[in-house]
Amino acid sequence: MVVCVSADAGVLGRVLRRLDGVGSVVNCADLTQLRALLSPSPGGSTSVVGPVTAPATPQGPVRWGELVVDQTAHLVTWRGDPLPLSRTERELLARLIGPPLVVWSYEQLCAFALGGADTAALQSTIKRLRRRLRGLPGGPQVHAVRGVGYRLDPPPRLNDH
């Protein structure tokens, strides 16, 4: 495992290219975030920043409750009905709904879903994605983790309806 401490998505991209999928990379924006990751506070949140690894080719659809993202078919459905999402929104949603269902850092999401674009582009895409997901009753909500990134809550269990 390699730890990359940098808020620059370009640095993360170079590290990932150099490793060429050989190992996993954990990215932290700064030393404070690294310290929090290595020794979480006892009363703190249990959310962790997801490890950065080279994006794998999807092995089938990714699910969050009744939301299905099928990257291969370029299709997102909610309760069987297609959702009109852009490629970038679809890739971002596929990353957020996991697995693993963790806090994804700004840098990780920029590297995976936006091809290394800046955080302003990420924020704009998140805003559009939130607007589209808002109309799904019981659907996922994108939550900001201030200073770190974004996450989703776990999907509802079947008996929670």
Q: Which helix (H) or strand (E) holds 84?
A: none
Q: How far is CA 15 from each of CA 47, 60, 93, 107, rounded to the nearest angstrom?
A: 24, 27, 24, 13
77-134 pLDDT tens trace: 999 999 999 999 998 999 898 777 788 888 888 888 787 778 888 999 999 999 999 9
49-64 pLDDT tens trace: 555 444 444 467 889 9
Long-range contacts of 18-27 (CB under 8 A, 24+ apart): 19/54, 20/54, 21/53, 21/54, 24/51, 24/52, 24/53, 25/1, 25/51, 25/52, 25/53, 26/1, 26/2, 26/51, 26/52, 27/3, 27/52, 27/105, 27/107, 27/108
Q: How far is CA 12 from each of CA 7, 26, 52, 97, rounded to the nearest angstrom?
A: 8, 10, 9, 22
8-37 pLDDT tens trace: 667 777 777 776 666 667 777 776 777 666
What are the tokens at 81? 């009905």
**Residue 4 confidence class, pLDDT cut points 50, 70, 90:** confident
Give the three-state DSSP class for 40.
coil
